[in-house]
Structure 1
Amino acid sequence: MKKTLAVVLSAVMVSGLALSGCGGNSTSATTAAPKESTTAAPAETKKEETKGEAASGEQVTITMSNWLEAEEATSDIFKELLNDFMAANPDIKVESQAIPFNQYKDQVLIAGTSGNAADVIMGNSQMMSAFNGAGILAELDDLASGDVLDDIYPGYLSGTTYGGKVKALSWAPHPIAMYYNKDLFTKAGLDPEKAPATWEEMTEAARAIAKLGKDEAGNTLYGLGIPTGKVAHTGTVFNGIFYTYGGHFVDDSGNVDLNNEGNVEALTWTKQLVDEKVIPAGLEIKDLRGLFASGQIGIIFDGDMGRSAFRSSSGLNEEFDKKMGIAVIPAGKTGRSETVYTEHQLGVFAKSEHKEAAVRLVEYLIGKDAMVKYHKSNAVLSARKSIATLPEMNEDYFMEVFNKQSETASPLPATNAMFDNAMNEVTKAIERIVVNNEDIKTVLEETNKTIKEMYGQ
């Protein structure tokens, strides 16, 4: 469905944060300077130029908008990756446009709709949906290497495909997996070295932990931490629970379809565990992370970035890992491990005059050398099968689990520029059900109507 510019621009004013929880400090745009090197370009970056200055041997300058350079945790490695690319591709100079995360979506949309976006556009799943709705992303089916496209996990490739056309490529995906507290498993009479393999096993394990009641300090213990309130993130990650019960947010035709049997069953299960005080009611992910880090929650669903959050919040740093188990999401009604992911993605501006050079940068950044270096610095994952299975990307069991989870991770149904707004409505619906005790089907039907109007359906 075509989106009007007015809809797209109104969406940015109320957009939510990504699952990855990125944020940043303001910084001015900078240019990464090339460094001298005799390193040859990786084979996959030597895609033959079909036209443009790069093909004639002259140096071209391309720009890349991003928030990585605006954040302390990623600024240095991002600059290093750009320098590596320029050293391997002396015919291309890259200028970085660093934009703080909380301003990023708005600024890129404004630049793109006025014809001034960067050649390479970074984004996350929700942002790219808005960028695509604004018509600022180039089709990559013919620009990108077929070998690269074939190497991306199908679930990740589908998340960057709109109307049958690839509009971006996955970079640093964050699938959601399951963490559990080994100490609480032991106290509840469960095997701390054996994670629940099915949804039923997980539910019973959570109930067993909740029955412990309180810890030594008198704090209430919960069996399972699932976001059920406050922010759009709650509605976003709840798509994984919907999928577990065979439900969905949109149907096969792309129409909003909240009031379906699977969703009703998923929310019935959630409401029951909230009533049993197995799941704490009305909390968002940051609250749940704190409770898990302090040993008050037995099981939690989170992305790969969760480990660093737990280490920091617990005050134990890497020692916390001894208390922590990790596993793929247990198989539910569909018989498979259902989960969703968010990710960083890279697109090319539809009006770029240097699309071939821009694609060379994109393919370099998602290629082996760059991903291994980025992983070593920030423990990111790769969406490419040949890279995700490398020993360097699976240096411990934690990384093995998340790379395994990538095989069944599904994209967020962010096919509409108003997706973030819609997830706010889903969050409100979940709160009405688990906190206000409203009727599930009635709430879903009312929310479905609201979102369909929002989507123009």
Structure 2
Amino acid sequence: MNNKRFSTITIVTVCILGALSGCGSTQPKGITDTQPDKGLPVLGETVTYDPNHLVNEGKPITLEYWSWGSQGSDPVLDMIQPYAKIHPNVTIKPVNVSWDDYWTKLPLALKGKNGPAVFNIHNSYDALIRPYAADYNVDVNALTKDYTTASVHVTDGKVKYVDSVINTGNIYYNKTLWKEAGLTDKDIPATWDEFREVARKLSKWEGDKMTQAGFNFNGGAYNGLWQGLNYQQGQTLFSENGGKANYDNTTTANNMRFLKDLYDKDRVGSINFGNDYTQSFGNGQSAMVYAWGWLEGTMKEKYPDIDYGVFATPTPSKETPFAYDRYNGESTPGVNSHAPKDQQEVAQDFVKYLLANDDYIRAAVKELNSFPAKKQLQDDKDILAQPVMAAIKPRVDRLIWPGSTPATMETSAATAFENVFQNGMGIDQALHEAQQQMDTDMKNSNFVPAESKYEFYGERR
């Protein structure tokens, strides 16, 4: 062996590895905070945060925050610098991991001793991260008073995260096509029967060829529609004991038939009119679509020239339904229960700072185009000036969360839709086959629905 060559390689290697700790240079050791009284006001109303204290006894500390989001799409990132300004001894390092890799890498990191102290959560992966998420060190009663949907996340008197903002489905309509059809704001439909009439006026055909859809739900919208339609009619997505999907029933069949009739009898759309309702709406080919708040980001990025509006999804009648639709929330971050004790304590302090801070929720509303779950901001004039927020506000108390539903509820339902609309299968058979697949997929699932926590659960069918 060439010892000289080996020594050279060793020195280079040490320097490369040492670059992170300042090989050949002086690395700062961090700032020590010696000022407990910051002279700052207490944040929050029920959940409060008093910034006038030392964190980690003022000693320098660094922890990581993992997220699939980036600046402008994850409101937690907006709050790191303001928090560090209050507590200069704390360094929170953001680590971005792509969505495709996140749910593989995060659990592995949380199992070890060097995982992130704080991490982004999506509630659809609740079962995956729950074993590693610490309970919040926050008074749960205070939390449920401030956050209107927090109660659905309470288990055994504890929470691991809550919703910062929530969203649901609405109808997006092309204002230009609306005007061309002679429609005005007075024509915005409140019921599905009124909606059918409006959709007919917005549809255009040249013989057997559709040139403009009045309403388009091709390419994925069915999954939101069937759930919302079922809830409106008092039909829950899961059996009363919560252990089984409730898809193959009369309500689902009637709603599938209603949607099929919109295309086949009312001719407001066509399964052959493209396979992406979002793109069709963005290209000005479809006058109305059902979508959640994310559509606004897509429109802004890809179709900025389309003049569109938003109105609340119609209901079967003008009477208040069991629920207007389902909702889903964007989660507050989790704290790693396997992180070192000092990092956990700082992470808990940071989470409490977020929960008490209206700026965090305002950032979430803006970046995620979703309605504030924080009660104190639900009447905010600036927030309600946004069309989606204005549409959600009157209905927010009558939105239901089914829980972190198994993927089969959407994948199997999507197959049923394709079988009926594209493959000519009968509705009853399609629903039956989808139910069988759901039963198979959920056989060994530990999923527990949250429907029974809905305030008006007793009004279901």
Do the aligned residues in 1 keep the contact of 2:168 with 2:327 (CA within 8 Å)? yes
Aligned residues: 398
Following TM superposition, by how much is the alpha carbon of 1:392 offset from its aligned partner in structure 2, in angstroms? 3.2
| Residue number in structure 1 paired with 2:141 | 146
The match for 2:377 is 387
Aligned residue among 167, 170, 174 for 1:174: 167
Cα distance in 1 for partners of 2:157, 2:259 equals 35
Structure 1's 183 and 42: CA in aligned 2 closer, same or farther, altered over 3 A? same
Corresponding position: 1:246 with 2:234: yes
Instruction: Name which of 239, 259, 262 aligns with 1:270.
Output: 259
1:358 aligns with 2:347: yes
Secondary structure at the counterpart of residue 274 of structure 1: helix
Task: Say which one has the larger Rg.
Answer: 2
Q: Closer, same or farther in 2 for the Cα pair 1:236/1:362, shift >3 Å?
A: farther
Alpha carbons of structure 1 residues 59 and 114: separation in structure 2 relative to 1, 3 Å: closer
1:251 to 1:114, Cα distance in 2 relative to 1, 3 A: farther
Question: What is the CA distance between 1:78 and its match in structure 2?
Answer: 5.3
Answer yes or no: is 1:222 the counterpart of 2:213.
yes
Residues 38-437 of structure 1 aligned to structure 2 (within 5 Å): 40=40, 42-44=42-44, 47=49, 54=55, 56-69=57-70, 73-74=72-73, 79-90=77-88, 92-114=90-112, 117-132=115-130, 135-140=131-136, 143-144=138-139, 146-154=141-149, 157-158=151-152, 160-161=153-154, 166-210=159-203, 212-213=204-205, 220-227=211-218, 229=220, 235=223, 238-254=226-242, 255-276=244-265, 277-281=267-271, 287-316=276-305, 320-321=306-307, 324-332=308-316, 335-336=320-321, 338-346=324-332, 347-352=334-339, 353=341, 354-366=343-355, 367-373=357-363, 375=365, 379-415=369-405, 419-437=406-424
- Residue type matched to 1:384 in 2? K
Stretch deviating more after TM superposition (251-260 or 368-377)? 368-377
Query: CA separation in 2, counterparts of 1:85 and 1:78?
Result: 11
For residue 420 of structure 1, report the CA deviation from its aligned partner: 2.3
Instruction: Give the match's secondary structure for 1:64.
Output: strand
RMSD (Å) for aligned C-alpha atoms? 3.6
For each residue in 1:400-433, what CA deviation from the matched residue of structure 2 results, as whole angstroms up to 9, or x when unmatched? 2244454433325424xxx224421221111112
SS at match of 2:240: coil
Indicate how the Cα distance of structure 1 residues 256 and 390 shifts in structure 2: closer, same or farther if over 3 A, else same: same
User: Structure 1: where are the runs of 5+ without partners?
Assistant: 1-32
Note closer, same or farther for the CA distance 1:252–1:200 as it changes in structure 2 (3 Å cut).
same
- Compare 36-45 and 86-95 and name the one that shifted more: 36-45
**Distance apart, 1:440 and its partner CA:** 1.9
Please tell me the residue identity of whatever aligns with 2:353: Y
After superposition, give the CA deviation of every residue in 1:297-336 in whole Å (9 maximum; x if it has no partner).
22211222322423444351xxx34xx2211222236833
Which runs of no fewer than 5 residues in structure 2 stay unpaired?
Answer: 1-29, 445-461
Shift in Å, 1:82: 0.7
- Quick check: 1:193–1:325 contact (8 Å CA) kept in 2? no
TM-score normalised by structure 2 residue count: 0.74
Go from structure 1 to structure 2 and tell me whether the alpha carbon gap of 1:387 and 1:60 turns closer, same or farther (over 3 Å shift).
farther
Q: CA deviation at 1:204?
A: 2.4
Does the CA-based 8 Å contact 1:139-1:167 persist in structure 2?
yes
Mapped contact 1:41–1:88 kept (Cα < 8 A): no
Amino acid at match of 2:398: T
Identify if the C-alpha distance between structure 1 residues 39 and 235 changes in structure 2 by more than 3 Å, giving closer, same or farther.
Answer: farther
Q: Which residue of 1 aligns with 2:431?
A: 444
1:222/1:278 contact within 8 Å kept: yes
The aligned residue for residue 16 of structure 1 is none
1:97-118 Cα offsets, whole Å, 9 max, x none, are 2111222122223323456542
SS in 1 for 2:298: helix
Please report how far the alpha carbon of residue 374 of structure 1 lies from its aligned counterpart in structure 2 after TM superposition. Answer: 5.0
Shift of 1:196: 0.9
Matched AA of 1:123: I
> TM-score, normalized by length of structure 1?
0.74
Identity of aligned residues (%): 17
Which has the bigger relative contact order, CA under 8 A and spacing at least 6? 1
Cα distance between partner residues in 2 of 1:253 and 1:59: 51
